[in-house]
Amino acid sequence: MRHLLVINPNTSASVSALLQMHAQAAAGPDVQVRTVTARFGAPYISDEAGYAVASHATLDAWAAAIVEGKASGRPAPDAVLIGCFGDPGLIALRESSPAPVTGLAEAAFIEAAHHGRFAIVTGGARWGPMLQRLAHALGHGQSLAGIHTVTPTGAQLAADPAAARTLLAQACRDAARQLDAEAVILGGAGLAGMAADIQPGVDVPVIDSVQAGARWALRSDAPPPPRAEPGFDVPWEHLSPELTALGPKRA
């Protein structure tokens, strides 16, 4: 049995439940998925400040899961998935984890790029430039045809799934046609499961970011992690006991 740790960088328990359900379904019966929720931060990440705090919350949630897992005898994760379409803390966590780490956005970019140039459809206008920056930082700027944001945030879309599917289906069709995209990513933890309902009305593949994340995190050719044991190279001050415990020991 392999073990996938999913980290929800926001504080919403309902998003964590959605991530757990859809990541487990995508990972299959031979994988045990465990989803943990940020212990502080925003209930929904919708701007730069929320994203910055979520990066800290991601590291904190991972450290807590590792330290508590060791204390209880729980198996260490074989892979880690950051359950936010924006991947806060991705590079820092990848530097610190002995298991492969990815996020919903990076995994969806990789999967969509196999089809050619791709577009992104997601909720919340402020995510546009943030995702543009992320795509370039992760080396997918040339493959990104464009980003189509709808006005409601991901949290608002998740609160009314029926209306969200109608709105997002049209957004995916518009993105594919107007941006000449060969695939469309439906990005957002709160939108997990909607791509399958939207796909019949869209002429190009619609990528579910949560499913893509679970598939990538557990693939056999993931890049080798940089360290054999979980930890940080920084002697933290005034942070959580779990973060501090994974830092270097003071003389």
| pLDDT tens digits, 16-26 | 999 999 999 99
Same domain? For 39 and 133 the reply is no
* Residues 82, 102: Cα–Cα separation, whole Å: 6
For the entire predicted model, the pTM comes to 0.95
**35: domain range?**
2-103+216-245
Same domain? For 30 and 82 the reply is yes
CA angle (71, 240, 248) in 5-degree steps? 75
Q: Are 161 and 194 in contact (CB under 8 A)?
A: yes
Total domains, the chain: 2
Structural domain contains residue 250: no
Rg (CA), the chain: 18
Same domain? For 108 and 96 the reply is no
Structural domain contains residue 183: yes
Same domain? For 67 and 163 the reply is no
Same domain? For 145 and 238 the reply is no
Same domain? For 120 and 97 the reply is no
Sheet holding 101-103, edge to edge: 31-37, 2-8, 79-82, 101-103
Same domain? For 95 and 108 the reply is no
* Residues 172, 168: Cα–Cα separation, whole Å: 6
Same domain? For 33 and 156 the reply is no
Average per-residue pLDDT for the chain = 94
Structural domain contains residue 57: yes
Structural domain contains residue 139: yes
Q: Are 150 and 171 in contact (CB under 8 A)?
A: yes
CATH number for the domain harbouring residue 88: 3.40.50.12500
Q: Are 26 and 211 in contact (CB under 8 A)?
A: yes
User: What does the pLDDT look like over 207-229, one tens digit per residue?
Assistant: 999 999 999 888 866 667 778 89
DSSP letter assigned to residue 40? S
The closest alpha carbon to 59, from 250, 249, 244, belongs to 244
pLDDT at 251 over 80: no
Structural domain contains residue 185: yes
pLDDT at 159 over 90: no
Structural domain contains residue 251: no
Phi-psi region of 159 (alpha: psi -120 to 50; beta: other; left: phi over 0): alpha
* Residues 230, 95: Cα–Cα separation, whole Å: 9
